Amino acid sequence: MDTAERLITSTQQLLWERGYVGTSPRAIQELAGAGQGSMYHHFRGKPDLAVAAMRRSAADLRALVEAELAEGGSALESLAGYLTRERDPLRGCRVGRLSMDPDVVAAPELREPVQETFAWLRELLAGLVAEAVEAGELHPDLDPGQTASAVAAVVQGGYVLARAAGDRAPFDEAVRGALALLRASAPPTPPTATGRPDEGS
């Protein structure tokens, strides 16, 4: 692993653990085993390096989600798979965590990777909701965009609840609640000629 790569991966780790404000150039250099001269040879400064690390974390997240969705299943199963994917709620989201950092929010170049990632995620989830509605898995009155934002908010909000409690239980409860709401929104089974729901007999 070359110096630039070590600097990026070290910054990814520190941003996840400490946030942007808590990540100092000295800490990055120590973790990467790189000197100050090496850091400024490859990057203009901490903001430039942070953007590179944030874009790498965003790309890693996209690749992970896309690989999981490529495993197949119905649209509703894919939504459920996204919600129940193995996570460490007490560590939070590599990308979402940075949205709580005032320096990131205030700087367009730092905020952009976060903004782009969640726009991509909402679009992806909205597509799954639309597919599920078309397939009859979800109620036709559900708005794909609104539902996608709600699903994303459950995960990100679940991280906050878990970290505040020091326990993953609130995150798991939020996920189970979201799944229950999605499944409850499935359209009713149409009645048969006898007036009873079709039991597949």
Query: For residue 31, is it within any domain?
Result: no
Query: For residue 160, is it within any domain?
Result: yes
CATH number, domain containing residue 62: 1.10.357.10
pLDDT of residue 191: 52
Query: For residue 131, is it within any domain?
Result: yes
Nearest to residue 83, comparing CAs of 143, 129, 120, 119? 129
Buried/exposed 82-120: b ≥16 CB within 10 Å, e otherwise? bbeeebebeebbbbbbbeebeebeeeeebbebbeebbee
pLDDT of residue 195: 53
Query: For residue 20, is it within any domain?
Result: no
Query: For residue 136, is it within any domain?
Result: yes
Tens of pLDDT, residues 127-180: 999 999 999 999 999 999 999 999 999 999 999 999 999 999 999 999 999 999
Burial (CB < 10 A; 0-12, 13-18, 19+), residue 124, is middle
Query: For residue 70, is it within any domain?
Result: yes
In this predicted structure, the answer to whether residue 186 has a pLDDT above a threshold of 90 is no
Tens of pLDDT, residues 91-106: 999 999 999 899 999 9
Q: How far apart are CA 200 and CA 165, in angstroms?
A: 45
Give the count of domains, the chain.
1
State which residues form the domain around 96.
55-184
Query: For residue 4, is it within any domain?
Result: no
In this predicted structure, the answer to whether residue 193 has a pLDDT above a threshold of 80 is no
